[in-house]
Amino acid sequence: MNGNKLAWWIVGGAIVGIVIIYLAISGAIKIPSGVRTAEETGPLATATSQGIVAAPGLSPVSKEGQVVNKNTGAPVKLDVTPGSPDAPQQSDPIALRDAPTNSIKISMSAEGIAPSTFRVKRGEVVTLTLTATDNQTHVFAFEDSSLSAVAVGLAPGETRVTAFNAPSARGEYQFYCNVPGHATRGETGTMIVE
Ligand SMILES: [Cu+2]
């Protein structure tokens, strides 16, 4: 009898396990993915940003907080190929809660880029914290070739930081997601340099 009971417990346990796995796969049970949404991180309001920033992997900012430099100490260049030696380096992936407090926090998803507009001052150090808030890959980039080096690729759910000096000329600089099809569905925005 005891052996029979044990067998029933094993069979019953296996059935419960299978049902839980099925529900998880079918989406009936939500397993937290670690992706933090814009709602959880507070309002993504229009903001300006300036100052010394620290995030692992990020190009260093000069002591005075005025210039984004290479590790050698020379200023980065913004009209070069992203990822090339003179380009500003994006940070390693970080937790959104570790984002520099003075950074502009931007969410990228199939819904668009939010905020889609932000303002900066001419020449100031601009720090962007970019998060892919859905389960897709996104690539933040500017249209203007004078900012071609500022590009950040994000795996699903990932947050990375980039810093660069704003252009010295007033104007509107369009940015977009460089993944094919993403800009046409609305992943675009404007940086206003005042
Ligand atoms: Cu995208």
- pTM attached to this predicted model: 0.71
137 shares its domain with 171:
yes
Ligand 1 centroid, distance to 158 Cα (angstroms): 12
Domain limits for position 48: 39-193
Point out the least confidently predicted range of 9-23, 79-93, 114-128, 132-146: 9-23
Find the mean pLDDT for residues 122-141: 96
Ligand 1 centroid, distance to 34 Cα (angstroms): 19
27 shares its domain with 44:
no
23 shares its domain with 58:
no
Does 12 or 35 have the greater pLDDT score? 12
Angle at CA of residue 96, ends 120 and 161, nearest 5°: 45
Ligand 1 centroid, distance to 146 Cα (angstroms): 21
Count of residues in the chain: 194
Contact 79, 148 (CB under 8 A): yes
pLDDT at 28: 52
pLDDT at 10: 58
Contact 36, 96 (CB under 8 A): yes
44 shares its domain with 24:
no
CATH value at residue 117: 2.60.40.420
Find the mean pLDDT for residues 100-107: 92
% of the chain with per-residue pLDDT over 90: 58
Q: Helix-strand-coil percent breakdown of the chain, rounded to 5? A: 20, 30, 55
137 shares its domain with 111:
yes
Count of domains for the chain: 2
60 shares its domain with 129:
yes
Output the six-digit token pair for 166: 């704003």
76 shares its domain with 6:
no
Ligand 1 centroid, distance to 130 Cα (angstroms): 11
% of the chain with per-residue pLDDT over 70: 72
2 shares its domain with 85:
no
Does 41 or 117 have the greater pLDDT score? 117
149 shares its domain with 60:
yes
115 shares its domain with 183:
yes
Whether 33 shows a pLDDT value over 90: the answer reads no
> What is the average pLDDT score of the chain?
81
Whether 44 shows a pLDDT value over 90: the answer reads no
| Model confidence band, residue 32 (pLDDT cutoffs 50, 70, 90) | very low
Distance CA 128, CA 44 (A): 12
Find the mean pLDDT for residues 91-111: 94
pLDDT at 6: 57
Contact 90, 21 (CB under 8 A): no
Whether 1 shows a pLDDT value over 60: the answer reads no
Q: What is the tens place of the pLDDT at every residue in 168-189?
A: 999 999 999 999 999 999 999 9
Contact 177, 187 (CB under 8 A): yes
Ligand 1 centroid, distance to 74 Cα (angstroms): 32
Ligand 1 centroid, distance to 86 Cα (angstroms): 25
Ligand 1 centroid, distance to 112 Cα (angstroms): 8
Find the mean pLDDT for residues 5-27: 55
22 shares its domain with 101:
no
Whether 43 shows a pLDDT value over 90: the answer reads no
107 shares its domain with 20:
no
